[in-house]
Every structure is written in structure tokens, then in C-alpha cells.
Amino acid sequence: MNKILIWSIIVAMAGFLFGFDTVVISGADQQLQNLWGSSDVFHGSVVMAMALWGTVVGAMFGGIPTNKIGRKNTLVWIGVLYTVSALGSSLVNDPYTFAFFRFIGGLGVGASTVAAPAYVSEIAPAKDRGRLVGFYQFNIVLGILIAFLSNYLLSNVGEHAWRWMVGVEAIPAFIYTLLVLTVPKSPRWLLLQGRRKEAHKVLEQLYPDDDIEKIMTDIEESQKDHHSSKEHIFMKKYRFPLILAFLIAFFNQFSGINAFLYYAPRIFQEAGLGESTALLSSIGIGVTNMVFTLIGISLIDKLGRKKLMYIGSVGYILSLSLVAMAFFFEWEGMFVPIFLFVFIASHAIGQGTVIWVFISEVFPDQLRASGQSFGTSTHWVLAAIIPSMVPFLFGTIGAGTVFAIFAFMMVLQLLFVRFIMPETKGVPLEELEKILTKSE
């Protein structure tokens, strides 16, 4: 178990860089706009959003290298992208080159949401798979918290503070790249390539007490059933896993989570709180997110994916409805922040913990990377669209209505969990494949 744990933690560090990279820009936001005198539209859509569009592209196409050159090699290149992006964006002197280097970092974020969960789900024993893949999500929220903290600590290092804020990411990125070189290739991917000897060696390291030949035969049998170059995730027999990946990603973003993370200070101000609470609230959000993600990870293999999604859905519906009511009835004081902290806790213990685990489980070996790519692309396209509409929607239909819509979407999520979502806890990947794939 020791080696599996260490390798899972190393690979999950890609999540730390993802969380850090996503949030670090918020600290440099106003400095950059003032420095380059950009218009609101150019600043928002080019300087700030370019990493997000890199993420969409990285998620859409991340399945290709994950399949072709393998999970491990893709993870190494992701580390290189993060390092180049951090150094490049800290040294530039104009908004276009800055946006270019941020885009490169975004490619790394998007591809990591494909390769990292796929790799960990393929080396983890069924009984611990949820917890081990969950480390990826834990690292994301840890990265978010450290970025908030890092921005706060570096905000007073002079007029070029923004260079330090975005550049400091090169240190963890370089360490991650070196560490990921030490992990072995995924045994399931090696078997897909017909590299039986190498796969045997890795499986011996992973499961020293088990019958390696039997494990390999089971994996090969399962792969053989679907091993055809013509196979793709949009075939009729893979419709159910495809629907599952789409819906869990769809509901993840229609909870309003990214809209909230990006605009927390604005939302708190809309609720009548002073500006001074903004920084405190963002660090508070980071801590709440991390604590409840840890609780979620410790429970995912005990209670299962569905129970966590039930808890999260009920928490979402209550907290979002209360936030909407607070805006409609103009409740003063700490009501909105308290409800929003409940919302963050509900997200962390439910969707936050479950999404990457679940998407990495529902597809067969040879289609896992492209399935993962489909699910994460859905997530990232919506993550780009929904937050960008928030300022406009707040100004037109009002914050109360926006949160009421999010609450209604979470009622639909509860129905999805109750009637459609299968429980994947403790089921070997090969068995899951038989359950979820329709034979033609």
C-alpha cells in the first residue's frame, strides 16, 4: 500500500498546481490592469481569462497524449507546461505575451484533469480508489488556499509584486516535474500497448501479495472485449457512461461553485458587507473548502459516492435557497456569508470530492482518457461560460434570482443521484465496465 499511496500523492500534486494556478491571478488582477491600462473587456477576456481557455483546450485534447504517450509521460509534460508558464508570465512586459504564457499554464491544468485521475484510478485497489483519486481534489483546494495565502504575503513586496505572485508557482511546478519522473507507467496502459513484461513488473510493485498473472488476465480479458481501433466513447454501448460523465460535470458547474469562487468579494459586497471582509472571506472559504474536502475523502470509500452526493445536494439546496431569500428579503449582516460557507462545505463534501473520482471510474481502460476528456471538457466549458455571465446577470435579473436558479438546478441534481447515478464504491474497474457498458 505504501508505494501506491506515495505514487498517488505525487501524481495528485498536479491538482495542487491546478488550484494554485487558477487562483494566483486574482492577486495580480488590478495591478495588471493599472500597469497596462487595459479596458475592462480586454482585461477580463484576454489577460484574466486566457488561462481558462487554455484549460478548455487542454481538457478537450488531453485525452490524446494520455492515450498515445501514456499517463506518466503526459504528467511529466504537464509539469513542464506549468514551470514554463510561471516563469514566462512573471518576466513579460506586455499583456499579449502574458496571456500567451497563462494560456500554456491553462493547457497544463486542463490536461491534468484528464491524466492524473486516470493514472491514480488505474493503480489503486478498488477498496481505496475513491480516497486515492480524491487526493487530487484535496490538492486542488490546498493549492487554492496556498495561492490566497501566497498572494497575501507577497502583496507588499514592491511595485512588481505581481511578478512574484505569478512566478513563485515555478518552484512547486519544478519539484512536481522531478517527482513525477519517479513514478512507474500505468500497468493498464502498458497492457493496452502489449508491453506485458513491463506491466508485470509494475503490478508486482503495486500488489506484492497478490496473484499477478490473475490480475493481468482479468485486465487483458476486459481490454480484449473492447480492443478495436474503431472503438470510441460515442458508440451506442458507451451511452450510459457518457451520460453519467456529462451530468455530473454539468451539475458541478450549475451549482454556481466557480461563479462564487471567482466573485466571492463582489457577492459579499452585494450583500452589504464592507470591502475589508473580502480577503478574510476568501481565506475563510479556502479553509472551509479544505476541511470538508478532507472529510469527504475520508468518507468516500466508507459511505460511497452516492451518499456523499445526497449530503452535498441537500446542503446545496438549503444553502442556495437561503442565499436567494437573503437577497430577496434584504436580510442584513452575516446571513449571506454564513449560508455561503454552508454552500462551500456542501460542495466540498459532495461534488468536490466525487467528480474526478467518478468520471475516472465509469469508462473502460482504452477509452478512459477520452471519456475523462469528455467529462472534464464539459466541466471546463461551463466553468468558462457561467462565471463570465455573473456580473451581467447580477446587474439584470439580480443576485437573488441567480441563486434561486442555482438552487433549482440542485433539485435536479438530487433527482439525478436518486434515479440515474450508480454506486461505484469498492467495485473493480473491470466489473464496473461490465455493469455500465451495454453489450451490442
At 388-427, the pLDDT tens digits run 787 788 888 988 999 999 999 999 999 999 999 999 999 9
Query: In Å, how far are 122, 168, 220, 261, 386 from 430, measured between CA atoms?
Result: 11, 42, 10, 37, 36
Contact between residue 417 and residue 310 where contact means Cβ atoms under 8 Å apart? yes
Mean pLDDT of the region 94-103:
92
Packing angle, helices 277-303 and 129-154, rounded to 10: 170
Q: Is 70 left (phi over 0), alpha (psi -120 to 50) or beta?
A: left
Select the more confidently predicted residue: 180 or 2: 180
Q: How many CA atoms lie within 13 A of 49 on its CB side?
A: 18
Weakest mean pLDDT among 35-49, 114-128, 337-351 = 35-49
List, in order, residues 6 or more apart from 307 with CB less than 8 Å away: 299
The whole-chain average pLDDT of the chain stands at 89
Query: In Å, how far are 21, 71, 183, 303, 347 from 118, measured between CA atoms?
Result: 21, 7, 14, 22, 22
Q: What is the pLDDT of residue 278?
A: 58
Q: How far apart are CA 249 and CA 252, in angstroms?
A: 5
Packing angle, helices 50-61 and 95-123, rounded to 10: 40
Residue 1 pLDDT exceeds 90 = no
Mean pLDDT of the region 59-85:
95
At 193-244, the pLDDT tens digits run 999 999 999 999 999 888 898 889 888 888 876 656 678 888 888 999 999 9
Residue 41 pLDDT exceeds 90 = no
At 253-291, the pLDDT tens digits run 999 998 777 676 667 766 666 655 655 667 788 889 999
Mean pLDDT of the region 293-312:
96
Q: What is the pLDDT of residue 389?
A: 81
Q: What is the pLDDT of residue 229?
A: 61
At 318-338, the pLDDT tens digits run 999 998 998 898 887 678 888
User: For residue 122, what is its C-alpha cell?
Assistant: 488505474
Residues shown for the chain:
440
Residue 207's nearest CA partner among 420, 1, 414, 429 is: 1
The amino acid at 378:
T
Q: State the residue for C-alpha cell 498515445.
A: 68
Write down the pTM of the prediction: 0.87
Q: What is the pLDDT of residue 43?
A: 76
Query: In Å, how far are 34, 233, 328 from 18, measured between CA atoms?
Result: 26, 26, 36
